Amino acid sequence: MTSATHGDHGAPAGGDHPRLAELTAMVRDGRIDTLVVAITDMQGRLMGKRVQAQAFLDGVIDHGAHFCTYLLGTDMEMNTPEGFALMNWETGYGDWIAEPVWDTLRVLPWLEKTALVLSDVYTEEGHKEIAVSPRTILKRQVARAADHGLTIKAGSEFEYYVLKESWEESAKLGWGIPQRFGYYNEDYHLLQATKAEPLHRLLRNQMTEARVPIEFSKGEAAPGQHEVNIRYDHVLESADRSVLFKHGAKEIAYLNGWGITFMSKPDHTWTGSSGHLHMSVWNEDGTQSLTHDPDSKRPYGMSDTLARFMAGMMALSRELAIFIAPNINSYKRYASLSWAPVNIVWGRDNRTTGFRVVGNGPGLHVEDRFPGGDMNAYLTYAAMIGAGLYGLDHELEPPKEFKGNGYIAKDVARMPRALYEAIAALESSEPAVEIFGQDVVDHYLNAARVEQQTYDSIVHNWERERYLERS
């Protein structure tokens, strides 16, 4: 494993960044005619603008691209709910600046002559970075780790369902239960996976070509469900890859006539889709893993650093659940005997526990199995780094390893059963404020409350089925 060189702060257009020079050359010789300038919103979606090639050469983004502040203060439907201090009708919904981070530049093979660059978000006056922007939230936790003399490396796994209907067809059908592409469990099943291999092959190869290196794809534990493993790297690079993978997978599927979803639990009878995180702690320059100590008396040669980092992750997972499981639907994935964990326990290579310790020697690391496919990777990684550093700062010790079926663990903490429970946990969390700051906590609490209030006000099909005749 090698450490990635990753520029956190980007470079201004017109600078000497090699990727910017490469882009300029590709535009001049006609290989690229469109540049996508993107930010990531609170829900983990890419938002932004497309820049025409000649306009790019003429310098239209020399100082970044303008966008309305409301993009970091909406709900899933792009409504502008009340309660956000930074963006509301009183502030006039002005502009912020999306400043390209040229290290993130990718050529997208699935879109003709198109490149994409991720951006950080700044005020137009004073060039102040926006604290509630998901990528900035993660950058600040990366900086906190650096202050501890640590580098965090990570890799994401995503599960998703391939569907027979397109999103448009699902909308026309009233968003009923979609048909999965497959009719039996395809976990590791090569024949069943072959049926959707035209899509999976595109995802593996086009993502890798776009510098989102895919190591494996495989069938998962339900009809039509699949998983990909993204190559691990510096945690900020891994989060960039995660966001780009989800966005790009949706584009590739749509452009080739497939349906796909990263929804955490599309139906209560389906196996949930995960977004597992593999995390390890390294020295300051990322050349030496700090997870293993051959002289350690801890289980499996676990170092004090890894043990206390994991202890922090475990101690704060419940309080920081909104950053791990952001949606109403996220919590329906936490069901016993469902391959999604419930209890906050750890075990060695144990898929029934929320935290799974895997690997050997310098490759020893922890897998967090609580995030779902619907996670915003910037926020989830930020929460777990912040929690891990909290564990180090407070010298927390992990509980004794749980052996056996983690679903039946007694007298242990468990993840919230619903979003409203996660809201209450975050509202009373002092460590969350210590990690993120009150402004970030308030911003994402408001988003969660809006989501909960919206859900509570809607009459659902289940209610009509249960009460229309019989109440």
Sign of the C-alpha dihedral computed for residues 313, 319, 322 and 323 taken in this order: negative
CA distance 143 to 129: 14
Amino acid in position 266: P
CATH code of the domain made up of 141-463: 3.30.590.10
Q: What is the pLDDT of residue 7?
A: 38
471 residues of the chain, pLDDT tens digit each: 333 333 333 334 446 799 999 999 999 999 999 999 999 999 999 999 999 999 999 999 998 999 999 999 999 999 999 999 999 898 899 999 999 999 999 999 999 999 999 999 999 999 999 999 999 999 999 999 999 999 999 999 999 999 998 889 889 888 889 999 988 999 999 999 999 999 999 999 999 999 999 999 999 999 999 999 999 999 999 999 999 999 999 999 999 999 999 999 999 999 999 999 999 999 999 999 999 999 999 999 999 999 999 999 999 999 999 999 999 999 999 998 888 999 999 999 999 999 999 999 999 999 999 999 999 999 999 999 999 999 999 999 999 999 999 999 999 999 999 999 999 999 999 999 999 999 999 999 999 999 999 999 999 999 999 999 999
Provide the whole-model pTM: 0.94
Instruction: Please give the helix or strand (H or E) that residue 456 lies within, else none.
Output: helix 438-457
| DSSP assignment string, 271-300 | PPPB--EEEEEEETTS-SB-SB-TT--SGG
277 - beta bridge partners? 156, 368
Residue 386 three-state SS: helix
CATH code of the domain made up of 18-130: 3.10.20.70
Per-position b or e across 84-122, b if 16+ CB within 10 A of its CB = bebbbeeeeeeebbbbbbbbbbbbbbbbeebbbbbbbbb
CA distance 372 to 325: 7
Contact partners, residue 158, CB within 8 Å, separation at least 6? 227, 228, 230, 242, 245, 246, 262, 273, 274, 275, 373
Q: State how beta strands 233-234 and 346-348 pair.
A: unpaired
User: Do the Cβ atoms of 291 and 365 come closer than 8 Å?
Assistant: yes
CA distance 86 to 97: 14
Q: What is the pLDDT of residues 379-430, one digit of tens each?
A: 999 999 999 999 999 999 999 999 999 999 999 999 999 999 999 999 999 9
Beta strand segments in 204-352, E? 214-219, 225-230, 233-234, 259-261, 277-283, 346-348
Q: State how beta strands 34-40 and 114-123 pair.
A: parallel
Contact partners, residue 54, CB within 8 Å, separation at least 6? none
Amino acid in position 130: I
CA distance 339 to 342: 9
Helix 235-255 to helix 197-209 angle, to the nearest 10 degrees?
Answer: 140
- CA dihedral (91, 93, 99, 101) in degrees, to 10, reads 100
CA distances from 361 to 289, 291, 292 (A): 9, 8, 6
Domain with CATH 3.10.20.70 in the chain: 18-130
| DSSP assignment string, 22-76 | HHHHHHHTTS--EEEEEEE-TTS-EEEEEEEHHHHHTTTTTT-EEEEGGGGS--T
Domain with CATH 3.30.590.10 in the chain: 141-463
